[in-house]
């Protein structure tokens, strides 16, 4: 169901004018420890409606039926979803933090993510229904690695391709593990204890310099990239945005907690061999020690995490809520589907000798 077009805002929520902080500023003024990323250029009606509403604080306005007519895999819907989800992370420079819970924006998000989720379920209508069926293919290294993006980068990737890959992946890795943390209050017992243990490692085991997001920022510096959070959003195509949106979709809905666990497990199971290949690619191309270290760190850490997440997180969750098994399998399958779509996009561009980004990447 579409949100009412041009619906009047709640008098307590919008329109808003951010309060300027000063010597007499009150406690109600919006506080921000650092400026968030800037809003990107719109890519269609929906993303334009969102960016206008975020810049002005006025009600979001778009054509009735726009969401239903949008390509669920397309640039416009995926960017609109990314912008709406990002309000729950760090927000945007110049955007009032109170808009995170604006009812009109939430209605648009609900309808857009329903379109996205329907497309996922439709494409996976014949997908796995059990954990064993979903994860069995991931637990065996395939003999033929010709379709593997990490194998391609390891064996024949060039430095410019590694830079593009890192710029795109930065949209997740600079907030690595954040979407998965949303599942913690929705778990109990074994599953919760194991999930917290893994997340503790992801967040540096108490050391800021070992937080995985910080390690990826160091990788970007080695590659001559800007490590600022959200810096390359304008350059990211829809297949990359969809991979990040999937985590936010699962993370923000308690009803999809099983799917989020399936996503998390899929990432941990496939991370170690892929990271090993990417560490070799960074070394072969002379990317730098921090670039190699990020992936080398994941080889060992995620090999351990794989066992914990399968036996304790999934095992504990299904011991408590066995009815969620199909959701766990769906989360795993959806992860594979979107990663394959992204790999096809990258290979298709690189096979033609052109950039996979939406615009030129500044030289190192």
Whichever domain contains 259, its CATH number is: 1.20.910.10
Q: What is the pLDDT of residue 140?
A: 79
Same domain, 209 and 75: no
Q: What is the pLDDT of residue 143?
A: 54
Residue 187 lies in a domain: yes
Q: What is the pLDDT of residue 301?
A: 75
* CA pair distance 78, 98, nearest whole angstrom: 23
**By the 8 A CB rule, do 345 and 239 touch?**
yes
Q: What is the pLDDT of residue 33?
A: 47
Residue 364: how many other CB atoms lie within 10 Å: 11
Same domain, 143 and 110: no
174 to 150, 228, 287: CA distances (angstroms): 20, 9, 19
**By the 8 A CB rule, do 79 and 70 touch?**
no
Q: What is the pLDDT of residue 236?
A: 98
Residue 109 lies in a domain: yes
Q: Please, how many CA atoms are within 13 Å of residue 100, restricted to the half-sphere of its CB?
A: 11
Q: What is the pLDDT of residue 303?
A: 76
**By the 8 A CB rule, do 242 and 276 touch?**
no
For the chain, what is the total number of helices (H) and then of strands (E)? 15, 0
> Exposure string (b/e) for 302-329, b if CB count within 10 Å is 16 or more?
bbebbebbbebbbbbbbeebeebbbbbb
Same domain, 248 and 170: yes
Q: What is the pLDDT of residue 144?
A: 63
Write the DSSP assignment of 66-82 as a string of letters: HHHHS-TTSHHHHHHHH
User: In the chain, how many domains are there?
Assistant: 2
Residues of the chain with pLDDT under 50: 1-33
Q: What is the pLDDT of residue 7?
A: 39
Same domain, 111 and 135: no
Q: What is the pLDDT of residue 19?
A: 35
Same domain, 140 and 117: no
């Amino acid at each position: 169901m579409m949100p009412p077009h041009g619906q009047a805002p709640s008098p307590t929520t919008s329109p808003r004018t951010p309060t300027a902080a000063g010597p007499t500023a009150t406690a109600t003024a919006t506080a921000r420890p650092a400026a968030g990323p800037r809003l990107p250029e719109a890519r269609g009606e929906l993303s334009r409606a969102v960016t206008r509403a975020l810049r002005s604080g006025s009600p979001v306005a778009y054509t009735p039926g726009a969401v239903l007519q949008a390509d669920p895999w397309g640039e416009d819907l995926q960017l609109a979803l990314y912008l709406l989800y990002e309000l729950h992370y760090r927000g945007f420079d110049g955007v009032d933090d109170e808009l995170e819970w604006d009812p009109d924006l939430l209605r648009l998000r609900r309808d857009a993510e329903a379109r996205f989720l329907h497309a996922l379920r439709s494409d996976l209508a014949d997908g796995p229904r059990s954990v064993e069926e979903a994860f069995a293919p991931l637990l065996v290294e395939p003999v033929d690695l010709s379709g593997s993006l990490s194998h391609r980068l390891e064996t024949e990737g060039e430095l410019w391709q590694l830079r593009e890959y890192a710029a795109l992946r930065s949209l997740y890795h600079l907030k690595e593990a954040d979407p998965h943390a949303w599942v913690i209050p929705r778990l109990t017992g074994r599953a919760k204890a194991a999930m917290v243990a893994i997340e503790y490692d992801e967040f540096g085991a108490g050391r800021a310099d070992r937080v995985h997001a910080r390690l990826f920022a160091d990788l970007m510096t080695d590659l001559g990239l800007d490590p600022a959070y959200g810096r390359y959003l304008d350059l990211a195509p829809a297949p990359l945005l969809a991979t990040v949106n999937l985590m936010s979709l699962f993370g923000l809905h308690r009803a999809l907690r099983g799917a989020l666990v399936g996503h998390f497990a899929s990432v941990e199971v496939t991370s170690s061999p892929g990271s090993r290949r990417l560490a070799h690619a960074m070394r072969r191309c002379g990317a730098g020690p921090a670039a190699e270290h990020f992936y080398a760190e994941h080889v060992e850490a995620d090999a351990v995490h794989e066992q914990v997440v399968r036996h304790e997180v999934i095992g504990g969750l299904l011991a408590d809520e066995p009815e969620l098994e199909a959701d766990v399998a769906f989360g795993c399958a959806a992860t594979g589907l979107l990663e394959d779509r992204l790999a096809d996009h990258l290979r298709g561009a690189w096979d033609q000798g052109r950039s996979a980004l939406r615009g030129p990447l500044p030289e190192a």
